[in-house]
Amino acid sequence: MGEQSLVLVASPQIADVDFTEPGRHNACSFIINEPQCVFRQIFESTLRQRRITVENTIELLSIESIKRCVAANIGVSYLPRFAVEKELESGELIELPFGEQSQTITAMCAHHAGKAVSPAMHTFIQCVEESFVAG
């Protein structure tokens, strides 16, 4: 399904945060999902390299709940652009500078090779592939 860019997002009301200046402490929360999440690992690794800290990390179960908390000024998050495209277009969220070049992840869609693909699963895979190709 291809490369997907990652973006640092916040509410338009979030001010005085800078994730590009080395050695800075940002008095905000980082809102993300579980520690095994690849985009969380990329973000936290970049912060360590830059010696940038945040007030705390809040773990939530779903990207939708993360987006709602970010929109409510609770903190910032680092998510795939496709997951926040609608909110960026509407102005509910803004993209914060994070570096010269945006980092990416590779999105894949897979299923168990030894199992039959149901018609519903086949339709789902087609929809997902079309969404990513169109985007």
Q: What is the pLDDT of residue 66?
A: 98
Distance CA 40, CA 79 (A): 8
Q: What is the pLDDT of residue 103?
A: 75
The b/e string for 82-100 (b: 16+ C-beta within 10 A; e otherwise) is ebbeebeeeebbbebebee
Q: Tokens standing for 55?
A: 């007030």
pLDDT at position 40 over 60:
yes
| pTM of structure | 0.78
Sequence-distant (6+) residues with CB within 8 A of 1 are 106, 107, 108, 109, 128, 129, 132, 133
As a CATH number, domain 2-106 is 3.40.190.290
Residue range 72-83, pLDDT digits in tens: 999 999 999 999
Residue range 76-132, pLDDT digits in tens: 999 999 999 999 999 999 999 997 666 766 665 666 778 888 888 888 878 777 766
